[in-house]
Amino acid sequence: MTNIGIIGAGEIGSQIARAAIRAGYKVVVANSRGPETLRALVADLGPSARAATAADAGAAGEFVVIAVPLKLVNDMPVEELAGKIVLDTNNYMIWRDGHYPTIDSGQQTVLELRQQQLPASKVVQAFTHIQAPRITTAGSPAHDPRRLALPTSSNYPEAVELVTRLFDQFGFDTVDNSPLSESWRTAPGQPAWRALQHQTREELAANIERAQRIVLA
Ligand SMILES: NC(=O)c1ccc[n+]([C@@H]2O[C@H](COP(=O)([O-])OP(=O)(O)OC[C@H]3O[C@@H](n4cnc5c(N)ncnc54)[C@H](OP(=O)(O)O)[C@@H]3O)[C@@H](O)[C@H]2O)c1
C-alpha cells in the first residue's frame, strides 16, 4: 500500500486524507501543533491513518501533500521532502497571507516560490480548485461528460502524471498547465478560479487560455 504524507490537517488536508484512504492509500498526517492534537482526526480516519510530526510525515510519504498556506519564510521540512514529488494545495490569499512582493510584481508564481523553497523536491499544483468538502463528494466516473476537471502545473512531467492518476482515482479529470511559471493562469481572480464550482476539462482549458496576467505592484 502506498503511504502518502499529508502535512497540514485542516480543511483540505483532512479531506484529501479521507479520499486517499477510500482509494486504498495509507496516510500519515501532520499539523503544526503535534501528533497528539490529531487523535480525533486519526480515530475518525481509521486504521489506514496515523499522525506524526511534519518531518516524519514528509519522510514517511512515497509522495507528500502540503496542505498548508505558503509562508515567505519556508516552514516545510526541506530535507525529508528532498527527491520526492510534493503536491501543493496552496492558493495565495493576500487577506490571509499578506503581500508577497515577487508574486505581486509578476516575477514568480506562488508555486515557483514553493519550488524555490524546496529545491530538491518536485513541486506540483494539486487540489487548488475544489472546496475541501467536495473532494469526497464531487468525483464521478471517467465516462461522465460533465466530470469535474482540476488544474495542475509542475516543472516535472512525472509529477503531473502522478497527480493525473490520483485525480482520476478520486473521480476528477486533469488539465495540465505546466510549467510552474504558467500557474498564474489559474490564480485567484482568473477565469479558471471564478468558475471553480464546476468546470469540465474543455471548460477549464478554455478558462486557462483566457487568463490575463494581473500585476499588483
Ligand atoms: N479549504 C479549502 O477548501 C481549500 C481548497 C483548496 C485549496 N486550499 C488551500 O490549501 C491551503 C490550506 O488550506 P486549509 O483551508 O486546509 O487551511 P486550514 O484549515 O487553516 O489548515 C491549515 C493546516 O496547516 C497546518 N500547518 C500550518 N503551519 C504548519 C507547519 N509549519 N507545519 C505543519 N503544519 C502546519 C495547520 O496546523 P495547526 O492547526 O496545528 O496550526 C492546519 O492543520 C491554503 O493555501 C488554501 O488556500 C484550501
| Percent of residues, the chain, with pLDDT higher than 70 | 100
Distances from the Cα of 170 to the Cα of 53, 77, 134, 155, 173, angstroms? 26, 27, 11, 23, 9
Q: Write out pLDDT tens, residues 59-84.
A: 999 999 999 999 999 999 999 999 99
CA dist., res. 109 & res. 93, Å (int): 13
Please check the confidence at residue 211 and state whether its pLDDT lies above 80.
yes
Ligand 1 center to 144 CA (angstroms): 31
pLDDT at residue 158 greater than cutoff 70 = yes
**Residue 217 above 80 pLDDT?**
no
Q: What is the pLDDT of residue 70?
A: 94
Residues at CB less than 6 angstroms from ligand 1: 7-13, 30-33, 54, 67-69, 75, 89-91, 93, 127-128, 131-132
**Which tens digit of pLDDT belongs to each residue from 108-156?**
999 999 999 999 999 999 999 999 999 999 999 999 999 999 999 999 9
pLDDT at res. 214: 87
Q: Mean pLDDT across the stretch 188-212?
A: 96
Does the pLDDT value for residue 1 go beyond 90? no
Please, what is the end-to-end C-alpha distance for the chain in angstroms?
47
d(CA 135, CA 50): 20
What number does the ligand 1 atom closest to the CA of 37 have? 40
What average pLDDT is seen over the chain? 97
**How far is the centre of ligand 1, averaged over its atoms, from the C-alpha of 10 (Å)?**
5
CA-based angle 190:196:198, to the nearest 5? Answer: 135
Q: Compute the distance from residue 181 Cα to the ligand 1 centre, in Å.
A: 23
